[in-house]
């Protein structure tokens, strides 16, 4: 795999190659994905499994574990006023 990627201008460390092959990567560079598809003669659909995650479920789960996270959408920036001293 290292040679196939190198032929396509992608140079990865042996550790990075090992992680791509043995684990499910959380993210991957688009250039690497394109090079993998070309090297293996597959489409991205052959390499990627799509899953749906409900973000509300994740938020409720984190609150249930005792991590009280503030709802950031409630906070709005306040315009600053610069005043001069009357000295």
The reported pTM is: 0.54
Domain range annotation of the chain: 2-47
Read off the pLDDT of residues 7-28 as tens digits, 9 standing for 90 and up. Answer: 999 999 999 889 888 988 788 8
Angstrom distance (rounded) from CA 33 to CA 39:
10
**73 sits in which H/E element:** none
Average pLDDT, whole number, for the chain? 80
Percentage of the chain exceeding pLDDT 70: 77
């Amino acid at each position: 795999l290292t040679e196939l990627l190198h032929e396509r201008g992608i140079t990865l460390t042996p550790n990075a190659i090992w992680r791509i092959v043995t684990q499910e990567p959380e993210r991957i560079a688009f250039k690497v994905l394109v090079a993998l598809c070309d090297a293996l003669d597959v489409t991205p659909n052959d390499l990627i499994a799509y899953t749906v995650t409900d973000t509300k479920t994740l938020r409720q789960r984190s609150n249930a574990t005792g991590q009280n996270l503030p709802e950031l959408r409630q906070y709005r920036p306040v315009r600053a006023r610069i005043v001069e001293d009357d000295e």
